[in-house]
Structure 1
């Protein structure tokens, strides 16, 4: 029981330490508002933001917009991330495919969301398709790059072992390459999810009638800064939640790793 309690205590302490910076910012924010150091119209007090959050939550407006945004982000991530994972494995396994596809993919990777968003709207309209594909475009590349690097980082001696054991190609992939590449793949998943939320904001700010991004843009039109802050905080909280869930899955699946965790 003692090791379990110790591990639980460490997690609690780590969580409290991680909250120090946000709590400090909140205290400074409230202090600046109460002392009149900032314009309350441009930077509303935390109390006003909390009140607005409660009102929007009680009315169901916030959850309705959040549900729409979450659906878009999830579909975009599944499409883009799934294709990125498949492409990363394919290019990682084949030098010929790398020479054929990687230069073009690296070129497309540098295109910013704001540059291609107008084209997506022209091609696919203002509906859900353009938004989801824009999110998918962003989610594709982190998983592609990290999966490719994960496959290529597998040590050559392991392939010699696979040859000695007479592994088939599928056995080599399943028992050797994927376990070795999983740390890089999980990093790609975390980055892809983060980019999915970023792409969602761009998609919803450029022609939408629902979603948290639309809520922020609509509030901007009427200078409702408390609503804007609610939207920003919701994006930050949901992004942190999804990242934490992936980290928990990573810790469960990759608990066998013996890696440096840092000092202090």
Structure 2
């Protein structure tokens, strides 16, 4: 009884510490955004830089209101490309990792994947446009390809880091395959896999937006490039803020899912 109370108390303290940490992180993000906003307002009001380079927050707000319908359309295009690319990257990367880790003869291919990932990503995109055109397909395949390689590498590292003695212990007591995976393997590899999901999401997102900026007919990257070509600086800022907002929202969503799954599998997030 005493031991149970002690464990419950430790869990409660850990959750409280995690909650405090979360609030500190939220305050840090909000405070940083407020600081940047105030600094931006002061510099723009003082005309430290030309308005063509640093427009006022009011001018950016007005540009956002005037092009709101267009921004929503471009965001919809980017989100569609991103969702499809992420699904391919996550599922494909995890499948590749499971195949390579479970087959010793194929494990040397992890070195090949690392070499491919080391190639500058931007040089691949012209081939994507050549093969798949300037539409949605080239952005999806470009983002999915780069994100899938990174996801495979991160997932393989997480799977190989699982404590094999724990797996052998479950098997020795006659545990089912499902129980072994849930209690012996998942708690050890889920944090690493979610690290791969989080980082591959950022990389995939960057590749999708980069593809839109380099050669595209739609998307928030296209919106930014078009505004830059016409020297409409406030719209450039609208596009950049939109890009940052989307990636922030994506990471919040991944964090919520991650913590839910980790707690469900008995891992303290």
What TM-score does the superposition give when structure 1 sets the normalisation length? 0.88
CA distance in 1, matches of 2:19, 2:244: 26
Q: Tell me which residue corresponds to 2:205.
A: 197
Q: Tell me which residue corresponds to 2:226.
A: 218
Tell me by how many angstroms 1:162 deviates. Answer: 2.6
Worse-matched range after superposition: 158-167 or 220-229: 158-167
Q: Tell me which residue corresponds to 1:45.
A: 56
Q: Tell me which residue corresponds to 2:195.
A: 187
User: Residues 122 and 61 of structure 1: is their aligned pair in 2 closer, same or farther, counting only changes over 3 Å?
Assistant: same
Residues 85-234 of structure 1 aligned to structure 2 (within 5 Å)? 85-99=94-108, 101-167=109-175, 172-234=180-242
Residues 199-235 of structure 1: per-residue CA shift (max 9 Å, x gap):
0122112221111011011111111111111111111
CA distance in 1, matches of 2:157, 2:223: 38
CA distance in 2, matches of 1:185, 1:170: 18
From 73, 78, 88, give the equivalent of 2:82.
Answer: 73
Paired residues in the alignment total 252
| Kept after mapping to 1: 8 A contact 2:262/2:268 | no
Worse-matched range after superposition: 222-231 or 104-113: 104-113
CA distance in 1, matches of 2:56, 2:159: 49
Q: Which runs of 5+ in 1 are unaligned?
A: 260-264
User: Residues 122 and 30 of structure 1: is their aligned pair in 2 closer, same or farther, counting only changes over 3 Å?
Assistant: same
CA distance in 2, matches of 1:206, 1:136: 17
Q: Tell me which residue corresponds to 2:70.
A: 61
CA distance in 2, matches of 1:215, 1:132: 18
What TM-score does the superposition give when structure 2 sets the normalisation length? 0.86
User: Residues 19 and 102 of structure 1: is their aligned pair in 2 closer, same or farther, counting only changes over 3 Å?
Assistant: same
Q: Tell me which residue corresponds to 1:238.
A: 246
Q: Which runs of 5+ in 2 are unaligned?
A: 1-11
Residues 64-98 of structure 1: per-residue CA shift (max 9 Å, x gap):
11000000011111112211111112222232211
Tell me by how many angstroms 1:9 deviates. Answer: 8.3
CA distance in 2, matches of 1:249, 1:180: 17
Tell me by how many angstroms 1:114 deviates. Answer: 1.2
User: Residues 7 and 56 of structure 1: is their aligned pair in 2 closer, same or farther, counting only changes over 3 Å?
Assistant: farther
Superposition CA RMSD, Å: 2.2
Q: Tell me which residue corresponds to 2:3.
A: none
CA distance in 2, matches of 1:13, 1:151: 32
Residue 254 of structure 1: SS of its match in structure 2? helix
CA distance in 2, matches of 1:222, 1:189: 37
From 11, 27, 31, give the equivalent of 1:20.
Answer: 31
| Kept after mapping to 2: 8 A contact 1:142/1:189 | no
Residue 67 of structure 2: SS of its match in structure 1? helix
